[in-house]
Structures are given as structure tokens and as C-alpha cells.
Structure 1
Amino acid sequence: MLAATLAALTLAAPVGAARAAVTDAFYDRVFMLAAHQKCDLFEPKLIAALDAAALQARGAALRAGTPAADLSAAAARARSKASRTACDDGDLSRVRARVQAGFVGWSRAARMSFPGDRSAWRGDRYEGEATGWRLVQDSATGGSPVRFGLVGTGPKITVPTAVVSFVGGPRPYAARLVMRDREMAPRVWLTGGGLPPESVRRVFFAGWAHAAAPGLLTEGARQGEAWIFPAEAANALAQLDPRETFVIEFLFRDDSVASARFEAGDFAAGRAFLAMGAI
């Protein structure tokens, strides 16, 4: 009755898999989350893992061409199935045991990559005294490397940050993160692979900037500036469609703008991976 694909709890679902396979994986993971909510099946770390698995399965299904409406319908069926399944159901107990066994095997993974269409988020659950990237994606503006993600000394206390290493010339006086405003434009924007019109964009300005710690710089960079964004920016980014893009813009006093484009990708799944805690 219940699919056994959860046994391995594989977070890296293949993007090129058939629509049915990735949709089934999403269904399975939503079912187990709903069953846990009803029957209290798993420990918190395993629930964080299932959250990450469900989010990445959803991203893989969208990238494979599954309509968002079909995924919403699959999630509704999964929750309905869970509501009708008894907590002492034999099949549910067997799948629960396989999920727990699979979790033990990879719960020690400190680092994980979350590939997208063009770019990847890299998650890091190591905890140390030095400031470092917990979740990061690389981009560039012109010849200057730019990184954006979550910075912290541990995976649970993180700050949305952009780090740029401009080569010579003046420095920007401000930085802003630009994405689709989900309230003003509820439907995903994929036209041309860029941002929607300005009237339906949401903008977050960095609150302050400082010299970037060495561990935040790209390889070979000797200096850089870290621009700190509000936590609300990360929450908004996690709600974007994984196929969408967002932009970090650096503003200069001569009215010029330097832009670095990023992919929303599996940012939400990466945050769920960090929620598993430090290693």
C-alpha cells in the first residue's frame, strides 16, 4: 500500500527522472509527514530530514515539468490517505521502521549539495568558532565573484548575506535583493528566465555592510564586503518556486547598478537540512 522509496531517504532526487517517479516521491514524503502529525512517529531531526526530502522532491518534480497544480493535488491525496490510515496499521509500521533505519545511515552527513537547473546550493552543518557559510550559492557580476546564502557559526543561527569582491574601482553604497512579490503576483514568473515587471517585485535592502571574513570569500579573493539582509528576506526566498531567479543588485553613487543573478532552487530544502542541527 505504501511505496518503499522512503527507505533510503535520498535527498538528491534526479532532475531528469520521469514525472511520475518524482511526483510519487513527493507524495510518499508528504504522506509520512502527515502520518507523523497524526501519530507522532518520528524524532525532530528525522522530521527535518523528511521536510528537506519533500521540498527537494517537489523541486525535482517542477523541474521535470510537473504542473504545480498536480503537486498540490498529490499533496492533498497524501494527507487524505494519512488521515484514513490507522496509527497501528501494519504497513505504516513497516515503512516507519525503514525510514528510521535509512535516517541513521545518512544523518551524519555534514555537507550536502542541492542542485538546480543551472546552479546549486551547498549546505554545511559543521559547527565551529569561525564564521562560515551554512548554505551558499555562487554567482558573479561582471568579473567580480558574488556569493549569497546563510552565514553563521552553526546551522541554526544564520544571517542572509551577500559577499562580493569587486576588482578595483569604487565601492557600492547599498545592496538590495530583488525577487517576485508573491502577494502581488501569485503565479510563478518564468518568462525569459528573469524577474517580473518592477510593479510586482519585492525588494529587501541590506541593513549594513562590513569586511567579509576570510572564510566567506571565493578561492583566490583577498578581500570582499559582506552585505547583511533581514531574516525576512530568507523567509520570502524559501517560498519562491524553485525554478525562479532572484537578483542581488549593488548600487553606486554614479547611478550605475551591478547585478548578480541567482536561482531560487532548493533553498527551502537546504534550510530544512540545516534544521537537523550541527555535527
Structure 2
Amino acid sequence: MLAVTLAAMTLAAPVGAARAAVTDAFYDRVFVLAAHQKCDLFEPKLIAALDAAALQARGAALRAGTPVADLSAAATRAQARASRTACDDGDLGRVRARVQAGFAGWSRAARMSFPGDHAAWRGDRYASQAVGWRLVQDSATGGSPVRFGLVGVGPTATTPAAVVSFVGRPRPYAARLVMRDQAQAPRVWLTGGGLPPESVRRVFFAAAAHAADPTLLSEGARQGEIWTFSETAADAIAQLDPRETFVVEFLFRDDSVAEARFEAGDFAAGRAFLAMGAI
């Protein structure tokens, strides 16, 4: 009997569940995706939802203490099971129907929060005429609020950006994203605040800066600047372990650096949620 839990039909990660439970949820989601690749079961928007579900389940399992090797083994088992399952299997047909029924509700979800250890990514699938945050996390440097995420008029055409509202400081001349360089340090780095030594860090400099639209400012801020980054930088964040940290650094003419830390968290799952399209 093919058993796919209700968790496989939603984007909600288990909260406070045992390690086995979150690993099982990840297995379920990988199985459904692998079965789709073989049998073409679902429409594109539903696959985007399942991608988000699988990524969120993986993040939940890692935060629960599941070793990466165990998740890789679970994914291999799920994919092998899907390869052995006939596309006309009756149980697979029932799984397909349950997943489609579950998606009917999530297809109408316009906003969603993706919690991490200490911070959350907030996703927004609304389309509008004004630029807004489609995926965002809040942080600060000193007493100055900083936001980082994806901005756009809709969820599928976005730009990675940081918005800062400095209090009592001159304008920085540059901004950069700093994170683990996976080519030089392939293993997840969880010590030292989640950021590795400088010798194995990867840096992305902002491409442009200008005054931020008021809709992008932190609550209570009256002004701020937006620094935009490449899509390659967003891809690199999405590939980090959900437990890792990345930093936005602002560089000043007096050689000082102001930094704001962010959790990688479920950034990848949030991007997959946006891929479901505007609502």
C-alpha cells in the first residue's frame, strides 16, 4: 500500500515533531515528485507547491537534527519506490486524487510564513502595480532596520534586494552579500554564528542602489535605500543549508562596515511558493 501522509498535500512543516516524523514527511514529498516525473501526474502550479513542500520538509528535518546523509538516503528510497510503481497503480491514483484535493486549498493561499530557528521568510503572491516584497526577512544593524528578500510587482518576476534605513549614519558607498562558498567549503558550516572564515566565503556586490519605495521600508521608517543584487546571489542563498547564516554588509568611506545577519532558512521553499504564480 502506498502511504502518503496528509503532510505531503500541504506546505506546512511539522512543528515540534520527532525526527522520524519530519524525515517521513520529506520522504513522502520526494516520492510524489518522483512519481510525477515518471507519470506526469500534476499541473505546473501543483508541482511548484510540491517543490515548496519538499524543500520545507527538508528544512524542518535538518532543524530537528536529522543528518544530511539520512535525508539523502530517504530521497533515494523514495525515488526508487516511485520507479517501481506503475503509473496505472490504483494506490498511486488515490494518492494523486488526495494531493490534488489538498492543492485546491493551497492554490488560493496568497501569503505564507516560513519559520526558521530565530527568523522567518514571509511570502506574498499578490500582484500589484507597486513594487512590494514578495519574499522578505527582517533584521537590523545596530539600531537601523534592514530587510532582505525578493521584490517585484508580482511573485514570478523578482529582484533580490536589501533595504536599509540608517539612523544617524552617512550613505554607504557599497553593499555586499557574504555567505559560505560551497565550492571551497562543501560541508555545512554551523559554528561561528553560521558563517565560515573569510577564506571560504563567497561575496556578491550590489549592482545598484537608489531611494527605496515607501512600500519596501520597515515599519516606522520614513526613508531608506534599496540595494539590488543578481539572481545568481539568490540562487546561492537557496543552496545554503537552512541552518546557515548569510550577511548583508554595508561599506562606508571611513572603512567601517555595518552588517545585518539573516537566516538562510526556507528561502528556497519560499521561492518555490512564489513560483505558483500570482493570485
Verify same fold: TM over 0.5. yes
User: Hey, what does 1:198 align to over in structure 2?
Assistant: 198
Cα deviation 1:41-60 (Å, max 9, x = unaligned)? 00000000000000000000
Tell me the amino acid that sits aligned with residue 204 of structure 2: F
Question: Is the Cα–Cα contact under 8 Å of residues 9 and 98 in structure 2 kept in the other structure?
Answer: no
Q: Distance in 2 between matches of 1:8 and 1:167?
A: 45
Assess, with a 3 A threshold, how the Cα gap between structure 1 residues 60 and 235 changes in structure 2: closer, same or farther.
same
The reply on whether 1:65 has 2:65 as its aligned counterpart is yes
Question: Is the Cα–Cα contact under 8 Å of residues 241 and 264 in structure 1 kept in the other structure?
Answer: yes
Q: Distance in 2 between matches of 1:194 and 1:264?
A: 10
Q: Distance in 1 between matches of 2:242 and 2:29?
A: 18
Which portions of structure 1, spanning 4 or more consecutive aligned residues, are displaced by more than 4 angstroms? none
Q: What secondary structure sits across from 2:112 in the alignment? A: strand
User: Hey, what does 1:22 align to over in structure 2?
Assistant: 22
Unaligned runs of 5+ in 2: none
TM-score (norm 2): 0.98
Tell me the amino acid that sits aligned with residue 39 of structure 1: C
Cα deviation 1:135-188 (Å, max 9, x = unaligned)? 000000000000000000010000000000001221100000000001110000
The reply on whether 1:259 has 2:259 as its aligned counterpart is yes
The reply on whether 1:116 has 2:116 as its aligned counterpart is yes
TM-superposed deviation, 1:98: 0.4
User: Hey, what does 1:153 align to over in structure 2?
Assistant: 153
CA RMSD of aligned residues (A): 0.9
TM-superposed deviation, 1:11: 1.5
Q: What secondary structure sits across from 1:221 in the alignment? A: coil
User: Hey, what does 1:82 align to over in structure 2?
Assistant: 82
Assess, with a 3 A threshold, how the Cα gap between structure 1 residues 8 and 59 changes in structure 2: closer, same or farther.
closer
TM-superposed deviation, 1:107: 1.1
Question: Is the Cα–Cα contact under 8 Å of residues 8 and 28 in structure 2 kept in the other structure?
Answer: no
The reply on whether 1:52 has 2:52 as its aligned counterpart is yes
Q: Distance in 2 between matches of 1:30 and 1:211?
A: 43
Q: What secondary structure sits across from 2:242 in the alignment? A: coil
Q: Distance in 1 between matches of 2:82 and 2:110?
A: 31
TM-superposed deviation, 1:4: 3.3
Q: Distance in 1 between matches of 2:142 and 2:194?
A: 17
User: Hey, what does 1:163 align to over in structure 2?
Assistant: 163
Unaligned runs of 5+ in 1: none
Percent of counterpart pairs with the same letter?
A: 86
Cα deviation 1:108-159 (Å, max 9, x = unaligned)? 0100000000000000000010000000000000000000000000100000
Question: Is the Cα–Cα contact under 8 Å of residues 6 and 29 in structure 1 kept in the other structure?
Answer: no
